Structures are given as C-alpha cells and as structure tokens.
Amino acid sequence: MKKPKISILMAVYKEDKIAIKKAVDSVLNQLFRDFELIIVLDFPKNKIAIDLINNYMKKDKRIVFLKNK
C-alpha cells in the first residue's frame, strides 16, 4: 500500500450517528482522493460510532480507526 499524500484527522466523542455520517461522507466525497482518514474515538462506550465507523472501514480502505481508552 502506498503512502497517501495527506492525512485527515477526525475526532469523535459522543456525536450521534447522523453527525458522524455527515462528517465522514463529506471527507470521502472530495474530488481529491489520495488521502487517509484517521478517525479517533475518544469515548470508547460510543457503540453507535464504533459500528458505523467499522462499516465505513469495510467499504473504504483509506479509513484508519483508533480508539482511545
């Protein structure tokens, strides 16, 4: 896998599913495609966010998902 030109960092805490979806879709729908989207979950009990982000990861290999304790 080649190294992307840019990395985009997105922090998620207690946002709801709609807010997360809008943010991720906004990044993924950009015309510039050579990037990685690093999503950091700062609230590991947010199961809705975990499920949603895991589903995005299955569809798009540019997503990197990190969970803080």
Residue 7 has φ and ψ, to the nearest 5°, of -120, 135
- Pairwise CA distance, residues 27 & 40, whole Å: 15
Angle at 39 between CA 35 and CA 43, to 5 degrees: 175
Query: Is 90 exceeded by the pLDDT of residue 1?
Result: no
Mean pLDDT computed over 5-9: 97
In this prediction, residue 28 carries a pLDDT of 98
pLDDT tens sequence across 29-54: 999 999 999 999 999 999 999 999 99
Q: What is the pLDDT of residue 2?
A: 80
Q: What is the mean pLDDT of residues 4-19?
A: 96
* Residue that wins the pLDDT comparison between 69 and 37: 37
